C-alpha cells in the first residue's frame, strides 16, 4: 500500500526540480481535423464523423528522434506525450481496445517509438493519460459536462456501467506502467464534477502504479484539474495525492505554497499558440523571447514549465514551433546554468527590470535583466558587502561596480556597470551571475 513518505517523495522529486523545463506533446486523431484536441466535444461531433480520421491516421512524418533532438536542443529535460486523450484513441497498443494506432494505417505502437527516442537523447520520459473517455460505451454520455453526446437524451446512461469503465481505465494504465520500462512521469487528466479521486478508483490505481513504478512522478489531476489543488497542498496527502500542482495556461502570480505557507512543487503547462492539439488556423504564437522570460518567471517562483507542441496529422512539428524551440535553445546554450537546479531567490525581492533565480542551496544568484536601466544597474536586495563577484553568464566576463557621482546617494546598493551601450547584449534576458561570500 502506498503511503506518503517525505523522504521518498523528496528523493523522487530531485531530478524533476532540477530539470525545470519540459515538453508537452498533444498528438492524436484530432491532429487531422486540426481544430484542437477537444474538437469532438466542442462541435458535439458524433463518432461516425470522427472515424474517417482513424482510417486515415498514417503517422507518415512521425520522426520521434527528430522530436527528441529538438526538445533537447531547446534545453528541455523531459517530455510528456498523450498516450491517450479524451477522444479515447490510444497511440499505444492496448489489448483492451481496437481504437488504437496499431489499427490505423500507421500500424504500430507509437508510444514505444516515442519513449525509445526520448530516452536515447537522455530525456526523462512521461506519458499523459486521460481519465475521461469519449469512446468507451460505459463512460457517461448524456448530461455529462463535456461528452460530445451530452445533449442527446437518446444517449442516456441507464445501461452504462461505470464500474466496468473503471476496470478498463485500470487495465490500460497497468499496460502503460508495465509494458514500457521505467516511466518518469505519469500525467493524469482530469477530475471534474463527481468524477474525482475515489470515483476513478484512485487509491487502487495509484497503488498498482507505484508497485510497478515506485519512482514515477504523478500529477495532481486524480484529485483536481487545471484549477484546484491536490491534497499535498492541504498538507493531508491522500494515497493518490499529486506530486506536483499543475496550473494550466497561467503562471501562479506568487508561486504555489501549501496551506502552511511552505513552497511546494508545481509545473505550469501552456501552449505555444492557443491550442494543445494541432490547430491549422491558430497563428497566435508566443514569441520565443516571451517564452524564455516565462521560463525564467516559473523558476524564479520555484516552479517548472511544460511547454506544448502539437504535431500535425502526419506527426511533424509545426515549423513555427520548431523555430521557437531553436531560438529558446540558443538562449539556453549560454544561460541554462541559471535555470537547471535553480529556484526562487526567496530572500531577494524581484527587481524592477527583471527576475532573480538562485542555484538551490548555494550562494549563487542569477539576475535576469529584461530591460536596461538608465545608467548603472542597481543590484537591489543584495547585501553589498557580501558580493564576491558579478559575471556576465553568457561569456563569464567580469562586471565591475559603478562608482560615479550618480550612485553616491545610494551607498547601501551595489550598482553593476554594464558599459556604455544602453542596449543590452541580450535583449531578451541578459543574465548576471552574482556570487555571495559566506
Residue numbers at the binding site for ligand GLC (CB under 6 A): 26, 37-38, 189-190, 225-226, 248, 269, 276
Pick between residue 288 and residue 306 the one whose CB is nearest to ligand GLC.
306
Minimum Å gap between C-beta 271 and ligand GLC is 9
Pick between residue 224 and residue 434 the one whose CB is nearest to ligand GLC.
224
Pick between residue 44 and residue 211 the one whose CB is nearest to ligand GLC.
44
Quick one: cell of 8? 521518498
Minimum Å gap between C-beta 306 and ligand GLC is 8
What angle, 0 to 180 degrees and rounded to 10, lies between the N-to-C axes of helices 162-178 and 202-212? 10
Query: Rounded to 5 degrees, what angle do the CA atoms 296, 374, 383 make?
Result: 60
Q: In angstroms, rounded to a whole number, what is the distance separating the alpha carbons of residues 269 and 307?
A: 6
Minimum Å gap between C-beta 247 and ligand GLC is 9
Tell me how long the chain is: 438
Q: Tell me the pairing of strands 21-25 and 78-84.
A: parallel
Other beta carbons within 10 angstroms of residue 211's beta carbon come to 12
Minimum Å gap between C-beta 356 and ligand GLC is 28
Quick one: cell of 5? 513518505
Minimum Å gap between C-beta 349 and ligand GLC is 31
Cβ burial of 397 (10 Å; 0-12, 13-18, 19+) is exposed
Minimum Å gap between C-beta 417 and ligand GLC is 44
Q: Tell me the pairing of strands 387-392 and 364-369.
A: unpaired
Quick one: cell of 133? 473517455
Pick between residue 280 and residue 413 the one whose CB is nearest to ligand GLC.
280
Contact between 21 and 76 under an 8 Å Cβ cutoff? The reply is: yes
66: left (phi over 0), alpha (psi -120 to 50) or beta: alpha
Pick between residue 308 and residue 428 the one whose CB is nearest to ligand GLC.
308
118: left (phi over 0), alpha (psi -120 to 50) or beta: alpha
Pick between residue 190 and residue 266 the one whose CB is nearest to ligand GLC.
190
Minimum Å gap between C-beta 225 and ligand GLC is 6
Q: Which residues of 154-183 are buried (b: 16+ CB within 10 A; e: fewer)?
A: ebeeeebebeebbebbbebbebbbeebeeb
Pick between residue 75 and residue 310 the one whose CB is nearest to ligand GLC.
310
Pick between residue 28 and residue 255 the one whose CB is nearest to ligand GLC.
28
Q: Which residue has the cell 455529462?
A: 144
Q: In angstroms, rounded to a whole number, what is the distance separating the alpha carbons of residues 251 and 247?
A: 7
Quick one: cell of 98? 481496437
Minimum Å gap between C-beta 132 and ligand GLC is 8
Minimum Å gap between C-beta 133 and ligand GLC is 12
Pick between residue 37 and residue 245 the one whose CB is nearest to ligand GLC.
37
Minimum Å gap between C-beta 36 and ligand GLC is 8
- Of 66, 41, 46, give the one whose Cα is nearest residue 314: 66
Pick between residue 250 and residue 259 the one whose CB is nearest to ligand GLC.
250
Backbone φ, ψ for residue 430 (5° rounding): -95, 120
Pick between residue 139 and residue 365 the one whose CB is nearest to ligand GLC.
139
Minimum Å gap between C-beta 266 and ligand GLC is 13
Q: Tell me the pairing of strands 21-25 and 304-309.
A: parallel
422: left (phi over 0), alpha (psi -120 to 50) or beta: alpha
Amino acid at each position: 500500500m502506498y503511503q506518503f513518505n517525505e523522504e521518498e517523495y523528496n528523493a523522487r522529486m530531485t531530478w524533476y526540480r532540477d530539470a525545470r523545463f519540459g515538453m508537452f506533446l498533444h498528438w492524436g486523431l484530432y491532429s487531422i481535423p486540426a481544430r484542437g484536441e477537444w474538437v469532438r466535444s466542442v462541435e458535439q461531433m458524433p463518432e461516425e464523423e470522427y472515424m474517417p480520421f482513424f482510417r486515415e491516421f498514417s503517422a507518415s512524418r512521425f520522426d520521434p528522434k527528430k522530436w527528441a533532438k529538438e526538445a533537447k536542443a531547446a534545453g528541455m529535460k523531459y517530455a510528456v506525450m498523450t498516450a491517450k486523450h479524451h477522444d479515447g484513441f490510444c497511440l499505444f497498443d492496448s489489448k483492451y481496445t481496437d481504437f488504437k494506432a496499431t489499427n490505423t494505417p500507421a500500424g504500430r505502437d507509437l508510444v514505444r517509438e516515442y519513449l525509445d527516442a526520448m530516452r536515447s537523447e537522455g530525456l526523462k520520459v512521461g506519458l499523459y493519460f486521460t481519465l475521461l473517455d469519449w469512446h468507451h460505451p460505459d463512460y457517461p454520455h448524456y448530461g455529462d459536462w463535456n461528452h460530445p453526446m451530452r445533449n442527446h437524451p437518446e444517449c442516456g446512461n441507464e445501461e452504462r456501467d461505470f464500474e466496468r469503465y473503471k476496470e478498463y481505465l485500470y487495465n490500460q494504465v497497468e499496460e502503460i506502467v508495465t509494458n514500457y520500462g521505467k516511466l518518469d512521469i505519469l500525467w493524469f487528466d482530469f477530475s471534474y464534477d463527481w468524477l474525482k479521486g475515489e470515483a476513478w478508483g484512485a487509491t487502487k490505481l495509484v497503488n498498482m502504479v507505484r508497485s510497478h513504478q515506485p519512482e514515477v512522478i504523478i500529477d495532481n489531476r486524480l484529485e483536481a484539474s487545471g484549477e484546484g489543488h491536490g491534497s499535498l497542498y492541504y498538507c493531508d496527502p491522500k494515497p493518490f495525492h499529486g506530486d506536483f500542482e499543475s496550473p494550466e495556461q497561467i503562471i501562479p502570480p506568487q508561486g504555489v505554497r501549501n496551506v502552511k505557507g511552505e513552497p511546494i512543487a508545481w509545473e505550469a503547462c501552456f501552449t505555444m499558440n492557443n491550442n494543445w492539439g494541432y490547430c491549422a488556423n491558430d497563428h497566435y504564437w508566443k514569441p520565443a523571447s516571451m517564452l524564455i522570460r516565462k521560463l525564467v518567471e516559473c523558476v524564479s517562483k520555484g516552479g517548472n514549465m511544460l511547454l506544448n507542441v502539437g504535431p500535425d496529422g502526419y506527426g511533424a512539428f509545426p515549423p513555427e514551433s520548431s523555430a521557437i524551440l531553436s531560438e529558446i535553445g540558443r538562449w539556453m546554450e549560454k544561460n541554462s546554468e541559471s535555470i537547471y537546479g535553480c529556484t526562487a531567490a526567496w530572500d531577494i525581492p524581484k527587481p524592477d527590470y527583471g527576475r532573480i533565480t538562485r542555484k538551490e542551496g548555494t550562494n549563487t544568484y542569477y539576475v535576469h535583466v529584461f530591460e536596461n536601466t538608465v545608467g548603472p544597474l542597481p543590484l537591489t536586495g543584495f547585501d553589498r558587502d557580501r558580493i564576491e563577484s558579478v559575471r556576465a553568464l553568457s561569456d563569464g566576463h567580469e562586471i565591475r561596480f559603478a562608482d560615479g557621482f550618480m550612485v553616491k546617494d545610494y551607498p547601501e546598493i551595489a550598482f553593476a556597470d554594464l558599459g556604455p551601450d544602453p542596449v543590452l547584449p541580450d535583449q531578451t534576458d541578459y543574465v548576471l551571475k552574482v556570487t555571495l561570500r559566506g
